[in-house]
Amino acid sequence: ETRGVWIIEIAELDTMGRAEVSTIKAFMSRTQDRFRPPYGKRLVDLPRQCVFAGSVNPEGGYLKDPTGGRRFWPVVCGSIDISALEQDRDQLWAEARDRFCRKEPWWLETQALDGLASDEQSERYQGDAWDDLIESYLENDIEWMQNGLGEHRAYPRPRPSPLQDVSVAEVLQHALAIEKGRWTQADQNRVVRSLVSMGFKQTRSRNGGHGATAKRERRYRRQPATEAPR
């Protein structure tokens, strides 16, 4: 379906769920298509010659995967002068071909450009309602206290420095004040997505005891800015 097509639109990208976006990411990451041509006897692999463009509603975020934003280069499109494009089309393609033949980079080849793209991607990340609570816990020691109305309120005290290492259990208990008996796998997955979007990476460390008696605990450690997923 990609043969003979220059630009393929992925319409309403912002309405797709995480599973659909993951499928699209895997599809877009391929550099070749395998298919059997009409009347052909065997499958062939041919390089792609197209680009993909996703159209979205400009309101709110639409990048749902905290680790997959680097595959998207977000741009804001205003009004498009179709008549002017038709008039200058051949000239634009000629200039693009000339620059391609001179092997000018068409990708983000510098750290500065990579950083600009990262900023644009971050602005369009569809965060979770828990993100602010978790980020507050990373920067503040949270004490949950009950007020006179029987409601639990968070009282933060700034830490000397933000937490660099944390577990999902700590976040659920201290940042979100969820009792252990009420934890669900969905809750844990939400916490993991939030931590990953903030630049944390899963690690395993020994907790208590030595040798065979030591337990390996799954924790999340903040990565340097240059290594944080986008």
The 10s digit of each residue's pLDDT in 73-110 is 888 888 889 999 999 999 999 999 999 999 999 888 88
97 and 149 assigned to the same domain = no
Distance CA 39, CA 35 (A): 12
In this prediction, residue 68 has a pLDDT band, given cuts at 50, 70 and 90, of low
Residue-wise pLDDT for 25-37, tens only, equals 888 888 888 888 8
Report the mean per-residue pLDDT for the chain. Answer: 83
Strand order in the sheet with 165-166: 165-166, 215-222, 200-207
Domain presence at residue 22: yes
pLDDT on residue 230: 47
0.75 exceeded by the pTM? no
Domain span at residue 181? 131-222
Q: In this structure, what token pair is assigned to residue 92?
A: 């634009």
191 and 172 assigned to the same domain = yes
71, 166, 200, 208, 219 from 216: Cα distances, Å: 33, 14, 18, 9, 9
38 and 115 assigned to the same domain = yes
In this prediction, residue 212 has a pLDDT band, given cuts at 50, 70 and 90, of low
56 and 27 assigned to the same domain = yes
Q: Stretch 145-165: mean pLDDT, rounded?
A: 74
Q: Which residue has the tokens 């937490």?
A: 163
Residue 229 or 26, more confident: 26
Distance CA 114, CA 110 (A): 6
184 and 141 assigned to the same domain = yes
CB 46 within 8 A of CB 3: yes
Q: Residues for the chain: how many in total?
A: 230
Distance CA 4, CA 25 (A): 21
Q: Which residue, 101, 123, 145, sits at the end of a domain?
A: 123
In this prediction, residue 55 has a pLDDT band, given cuts at 50, 70 and 90, of confident
Domain presence at residue 228: no
114 and 28 assigned to the same domain = yes
64 and 115 assigned to the same domain = yes
Q: Which residue, 68, 90, 123, sits at the end of a domain?
A: 123
Q: In the chain, how many domains are there?
A: 2
